[in-house]
Amino acid sequence: MRKIIHCDADCFYAAIEMRDDPNLRGRPLAVGGASDRRGVISTCNYEAREFGVRSAMASAHAKRLCPDLLIVPGNMEKYRQASREIREIFFDYTDLVEPLSLDEAFLDVSESQRCRGSATLMAQEIRRRVCEQLQITVSAGVAPNKFLAKIASDWHKPDGLTVITPGEVDQFVVKLPVDRIFGVGKVTAQKLKRMGVDTCGDLRQFSIFELTERFGAFGVRLYELCRGQDERQVKPSRRRKSLSVENTYAEDLPGLPQCLEKLPELFLELKGRLNRVDSDYRVVKAFVKLKFNDFTTTTLERVGTSARLHDYRELCEEAFARGDRPVRLLGLGVRFVDLRDDQVTAQLDLFNSIL
């Protein structure tokens, strides 16, 4: 039996904007194009959704629904960086990570030994770490397959966790509205409605032959999903490129000496996680990340290090000099090359032979 986690950041782009500018919190907010330039909403917070504002909606229409709506332009590089940080947290639990977009991914933790092998505890820990490190919330679903895990992550949004155990699958699915099935759009839902089908339990009254006759190849999929069956594997698009640890402090670190005092604790945590990484990775860089009290961030990295505490002290001193102001977040990390990549291995071998 597989253990699948689906993680989905809550109103991701808007959450990042509210994190970086607390004045935006508590008011209807959307990220997208200007309403006077035929812009489109990329995402919005839950205050805006109460007025009916949705993603992919024309900004002008969104403003009519919510005249007080504040629309800010997107910053994709900032969102990509946050996505990378979230993904590196995922990789601490499994290498089987399948991103669906910047803000959501499937994780197959069936073989993971983290949290005593409990997928529920892993999901709880992932959500806590994302909240602590990025100051945004993630909703998660835990289930025996991808179909149910994705539905579960949306069940108690925002900032929710829903677990569907193998023994609960049938009871959960039989009451599930058919329009919650992925691939059932408005047209298919209307067609099912005319058949007298509102729930997956209703859909089970039809044989696979009847559903295939009415819906073609999708009929087979409907037959399986209404029974909670989904054999799709989690397909990772890439392996990890880095590993890092960081901490946001309740009180800003006022100067460089205080930052240096925090390094040994972070370093030990980083070394502990590195010990769990398999031997197919080679560390090629060390880096430090500092976020100052004005929310500006700087990252400094160095090639050819074995990630020693001494290296991090030097990097921290150089990085701090860039801002020279109190620090609210301090992080340490490493960059990898993947030795499973034949091209990378060949390049390293050539480099070593030249030396």
Pairing of strands 29-32, 70-72: parallel
End-to-end Cα separation, the chain, in angstroms: 49
Q: Which domains does the chain have, with CATH numbers?
A: 4-12+77-166 (3.30.70.270), 13-75 (3.40.1170.60), 168-225 (1.10.150.20), 242-354 (3.30.1490.100)
**Which residues are identified as catalytic?**
104
Distance CA 110, CA 340 (A): 22
* Preceding omega of 67 cis (within 30 degrees of 0): no
Give, as one character, the DSSP assignment of residue 336: E
User: Residue 135: pLDDT above 90?
Assistant: yes
Among 150-164, 213-227, 274-288, which stretch is predicted with the lowest mean pLDDT? 274-288
- Whether pTM exceeds 0.75: no
123: its two tokens: 């999901």
User: Residue 170: pLDDT above 70?
Assistant: yes
Distances (CA, A) of 52 to 12, 186, 198: 18, 18, 24
Q: pLDDT band for 339, please (50, 70, 90 cuts).
A: confident
pLDDT of residue 342: 43
Cβ–Cβ < 8 Å for 280, 338 = yes
Cβ–Cβ < 8 Å for 249, 301 = no
Distance CA 330, CA 259 (A): 8
pLDDT of residue 307: 78
Helix (H) or strand (E) holding 43: strand 41-44
Percent of the chain with pLDDT over 70: 94
In degrees and rounded to multiples of 5, residue 108 shows phi and psi of -100, 105
- Binding-site positions: 8, 103
Cβ–Cβ < 8 Å for 298, 322 = yes
Distances (CA, A) of 192 to 208, 211, 350: 15, 10, 61
Within 10 angstroms of residue 216's Cβ, the number of other Cβ atoms is 10
pLDDT of residue 341: 60
User: Residue 65: pLDDT above 70?
Assistant: yes
Distance CA 49, CA 52 (A): 5
Pairing of strands 297-303, 281-292: antiparallel
Q: 115: left (phi > 0), else alpha (psi -120 to 50), else beta?
A: left
- Binding-site positions for Mg(2+): 8, 103
Cβ–Cβ < 8 Å for 332, 263 = yes
Nearest to 151 by CA among 124, 183, 128: 183
Cβ–Cβ < 8 Å for 324, 286 = no
Cβ–Cβ < 8 Å for 348, 282 = yes
101: its two tokens: 């977009």
Angle between helices 256-274 and 309-323 (to 10 degrees): 140
